[in-house]
Amino acid sequence: MPFRNFKIIYRRYAGLYFCICVDVNDNNLAYLEAIHNFVEVLNEYFHNVCELDLVFNFYKVYTVVDEMFLAGEIRETSQTKVLKQLLMLQSLE
Amino acid sequence: MLAGSRPGVGKAATSRRLAPLCSPSPGKSKEAEIKRINKELANIRSKFKGDKALDGYSKKKYVCKLLFIFLLGHDIDFGHMEAVNLLSSNRYTEKQIGYLFISVLVNSNSELIRLINNAIKNDLASRNPTFMGLALHCIANVGSREMAEAFAGEVPKILVAGDTMDSVKQSAALCLLRLYRTSPDLVPMGDWTSRVVHLLNDQHLGVVTAATSLITTLAQKNPEEFKTSVSLAVSRLSRIVTSASTDLQDYTYYFVPAPWLSVKLLRLLQCYPPPEDPAVRGRLTECLETILNKAQEPPKSKKVQHSNAKNAVLFEAISLIIHHDSEPNLLVRACNQLGQFLQHRETNLRYLALESMCTLASSEFSHEAVKTHIDTVINALKTERDVSVRQRAVDLLYAMCDRSNAQQIVAEMLSYLETADYSIREEIVLKVAILAEKYAVDYAWYVDTILNLIRIAGDYVSEEVWYRVIQIVINRDDVQGYAAKTVFEALQAPACHENLVKVGGYILGEFGNLIAGDPRSSPLVQFNLLHSKFHLCSVPTRALLLSTYIKFVNLFPEVKPTIQDVLRGDSQLRNADVELQQRAVEYLRLSTVASTDILATVLEEMPPFPERESSILAKLKKKKGPSTVTDLEDTKRERSVDVNGGPEPAPASASSTPSPSADLLGLGAAPAAPTGPPPSSGGGLLVDVFSDSASAAAPLAPGSEDNFPQRAFPKHPRISAGGSEFVCKNNGVLFENQLLQIGLKSEFRQNLGRMFIFYGNKTSTQFLNFTPTPVPRCGLDSLTRTHLNLQTKPVDPTVDGGAQVQQVVNIECVSDFTEAPVLNIQFRYGGTFQNVSVQLPITLNKFFQPTEMSSQDFFQRWKQLSNPQQEVQNIFKAKHPMDTEITKAKIIGFGSALLEEVDPNPANFVGAGIIHTKTSQTGCLLRLEPNLQAQMYRLTLRTSKETVSQRLCELLSQQF
């Protein structure tokens, strides 16, 4: 967990690094797990996610991020709820 | 583990369209990619400009491509209008891409903003939760001021409306939070605030999660309005922590119930002090205990996610416990829990445990508990593999350090320093320097530590560190002799760091005389030792050494010819460096033309440095960022005894201080310089009147002081301990707080005195109605008589920011007195009325005139004053190291003459003088008998007046 003016919390999944930049006094472990929670949702949504899924569907990734994190805060933590919402949106396409 | 591409549901049309675009990008050459992209951009541009109106689908396709190109790292300067057009589409996908483009490529074109805001307004009013969500997310992601202006009124309504869908509520809450962060002035507080608080009770935990963030931020700014959130948060938290792991279903993460929400609630509670309502408080304590208990339970899953989530809540609970700082029981439990983590195999946990313990160390309840882990922490320092964890261990050692373990910790840090990572060496050096200073029980240890520091990690010892050791040595006369001896010895090492040469040069130049008595460190030996290093040093160090040499000329007239030879040498007089050359020329001239008296004045020992915040501390703060060090330091400083609240000179500035000669003339009765100070007395105390002459003489050698610390230090606030330091000194900083600094400079002659008081406004705002009034206090012994007459003129009632005003007080001592007068200062700063009272250091001994007498006379008078009331005796333990030279200096500084070869026992000190008051003159004899073995002194005073004996004895006893 390296620091700057803020701090960066990261987690590595195979070749991908997921980073979150948070305030220095924010809870490290909570955000570390938030990353994992996010990745689990991606994995579920893309059915065993890989790097190319994220590249080709970048606009969907943005939607997932917006569902889970908004205005720099954690918005929703329930994987079931997030996925339900995502599938609903997908049906609109 | 997540590798392996498998076409999934998500891979819809878009991905296929993008595929050709990015296929050359990985691998192949950069040029090929750029070429491909330029071609595509040209194509898109032509489509947008084409005569044929594009349908929604193609528009979306091209906007999406543009976005992709932008994300590949290329500039995009068109397409905004097309994106805005997409916003008004009724198809979700088109609208979504439109919003995404706008959120990612924010544009400040005002016409566009108007259109965007219009589209958002329509979507917010659409009652379609999906569209509302998109619009809210766009506001939350952009968060511009224009958006705040347009929607700060609307969003709260959506948030609290009864018929809003839960997911929209979540988005609205965080959207509002974003607007409040960017433009707090535009978000109106109103009815909605109380309803927002009640969202903590919402059925939907997602809504609670979002609302808690909003409330936390609002509560930080408006604690009163959101006070009710405390009890709601406590009950919500309590429901979560007591729930079974399956109760919360969706919100249970690896068997931990709603970890993120718990963390957020605990953070919200950290905006407030412990709840006042005992029921709420009890419930909260129960929650915290439950969390601590759960940490002890065996894990419900072996997965790291489980323990991370559990510990996230635990660490946040500990933060809250530390924040409340009121439950010793919980604090100690928290500390023990962290103690277990110190040896955990997870690096993250060790790291976090060390970090949290740092804050625990500053709580009085848990400081001791933290200290019990000292061995583990020291061990971590030695064996830990991860450098960032080692760094935390250093931080924690620093935080847990106090008087009882300072020597051990400093020793451990010093030994770690020899092998420490290069990246953290400088910081460790600073920490060691600060701890050594702060907890120095005796200054000899301090000097040793710093010299060791320079020896081990000379390259990392920044200027601040060696400046500081010099400041301290100069301000503490009890360590000067030792320091001179130690640096002299350290300099004998065949290879020593340049920083050591600097410290050595400076200290020997000031206090070399204190060790010159020993033939092994005679003046010439000292000089040769320093000069042997001269040629190996850089220019600034050589410049400093030249200043040392000229100081030697003053201290040791016998080495003057040798030094003049050196100065005259071609390598100095014709040095290519202008500074060195100028110094050599000027010093040589100075040593040739100036009389001993002038030399003694110009080259007088440096006056003590005004006490400031340690510059090292300032540096450490800068290094670590304000938030991490300050709090800890502030709380610690309050508890730590001010180690060096030593004597301080008036805020030295030629502009505000009258020149010394004017002072002397102004005093009227005073003759010119009273028998110039013997050059080798080593007592700067004697000649405080002249302490300014050093700076006044500076123009003689322009630039010559640049290497001396006093210029290099900014002024920093530090509260002066005040009081007894001034007994033997006349100048210094009397008082200092955030707003005001008061400096003093005073002179006394017979029963008259004059004191210059300098008031410095440290703020940038004017002080109004500034009225300082010195008032004599009547002793209890006689309420009617006036002992002291103080006369002064009022000063200008306004003091500009950063300005300094001077007040002159004329003092007449009518009869002997005990109570020092008080200086009352009143002024208005910003709309508030400030009142400051400090004791003025006008003590009876200021009216002392020294009397020289022979041994025979002394004992004759001693016998005459044999009446028991005339004698006062005090036996006391030495508070400072017992150093002969310093004691002598103090007796002289006290005001009496120091009589040599009077007492048959040469270890004893005797002094004589007359206390002048308007009504009487009181002869006074004193005798001080040190007992080195017992570290005790016996002080006997005989005067013709009982009250005088009593008071002088009190005053002088405090000094040793």
B672: contact with A, CB 8 A cutoff: no
Query: Looking at the predicted structure, is the pLDDT value of residue B86 above 80?
Result: yes
Residue A56 to residue B3, Cβ atoms within 8 A: no
Neighbouring residues of B668: CB distance < 8 A, sequence distance ≥ 6: none
- For residue B319, the chain A residues in CB contact (below 8 A) are 27
Q: Which residues pair with B807 in a beta bridge?
A: B757
- Candidate from A33, A49, A92 with C-beta closest to B309: A33
pLDDT at B690: 34
> A45 to chain B nearest CA, in Å?
8
Residue A71 to residue B140, Cβ atoms within 8 A: yes
Three-state DSSP class for residue B790: strand
Give the pLDDT mean for B434-454. 80
Whether the Cβ atoms of residue B959 and residue B723 lie closer than 8 Å to each other: no
| For the ranges B168-182, B324-338, B574-588, the one whose mean pLDDT is highest | B168-182
Residues B911, B926: Cα–Cα separation, whole Å: 5
Of B384, B336, B381, nearest to B357 by C-alpha is: B336
State the average pLDDT for chain A: 86
- Chain B nearest-CA residue for A56: B15
Residue B309 to residue A29, Cβ atoms within 8 A: yes
- For residue A56, the chain B residues in CB contact (below 8 A) are 11, 14-15, 18-19
Query: Looking at the predicted structure, is the pLDDT value of residue B916 above 80?
Result: yes
Residue A74 to residue B213, Cβ atoms within 8 A: yes
- For residue B178, the chain A residues in CB contact (below 8 A) are 70-72
- For residue B251, the chain A residues in CB contact (below 8 A) are 77-78
- Candidate from B91, B103, B311 with C-beta closest to A29: B311
Whether the Cβ atoms of residue B695 and residue B612 lie closer than 8 Å to each other: no
ipTM of the complex: 0.94
Query: Looking at the predicted structure, is the pLDDT value of residue B2 above 50?
Result: no
Residues B375, B198: Cα–Cα separation, whole Å: 48
Q: Which residue has the higher pLDDT, B674 or B831?
A: B831
Each residue's pLDDT tens digit, A52-76: 888 888 889 999 999 999 888 999 9
Known binding-site residue numbers of B: 47, 57, 61-65
Give the Cα-Cα-Cα angle B17, B19, B23 (nearest 5 degrees).
150
pLDDT at B657: 34
Percent of chain B's residues with pLDDT above 90: 12
- For residue B22, the chain A residues in CB contact (below 8 A) are 55
Three-state DSSP class for residue B558: helix
> B138 to chain A nearest CA, in Å?
9
Q: Which two tokens stand for residue B215?
A: 């409330």
DSSP-based helix, strand, coil % in chain B, nearest 5: 55, 10, 30
Give the pLDDT mean for B604-625. 64
Each residue's pLDDT tens digit, B713-733: 333 333 333 456 677 777 777
- B610 pLDDT band, cuts 50/70/90, is low
- B621 pLDDT band, cuts 50/70/90, is low
C-alpha distance from residue B493 to each of B93, B490, B528 (Å): 78, 6, 14
Q: What is the DSSP letter of B9?
A: T
Each residue's pLDDT tens digit, B775-800: 766 444 444 456 778 788 777 888 88
pTM to 2 decimal places: 0.59
Cα B702 to the center of its chain, rounded Å: 32
Q: What is the DSSP letter of B73?
A: T
Whether the Cβ atoms of residue B474 and residue B656 lie closer than 8 Å to each other: no
pLDDT at B639: 36
Determine which of A43, A47, A66 to mutate to test the interface with B (most B C-beta atoms within 10 Å): A66
State the average pLDDT for chain B: 77
Give the pLDDT mean for B743-753. 82
Residue A30 to residue B352, Cβ atoms within 8 A: no
Residues B873, B352: Cα–Cα separation, whole Å: 58
- B207 pLDDT band, cuts 50/70/90, is very high
- Candidate from A1, A2, A37 with C-beta closest to B253: A37
Residue A71 to residue B177, Cβ atoms within 8 A: yes
- Candidate from A29, A50, A71 with C-beta closest to B2: A50
The lowest-confidence range among B258-272, B530-544, B676-690 is B676-690
- For residue B627, the chain A residues in CB contact (below 8 A) are 24-25
Residue A77 to residue B93, Cβ atoms within 8 A: no
Residues B196, B194: Cα–Cα separation, whole Å: 5
Q: What is the DSSP letter of B799?
A: B
**What residues of chain B, 20 to 79, have a C-beta less than 8 Å from chain A?**
22, 64, 67-68, 71
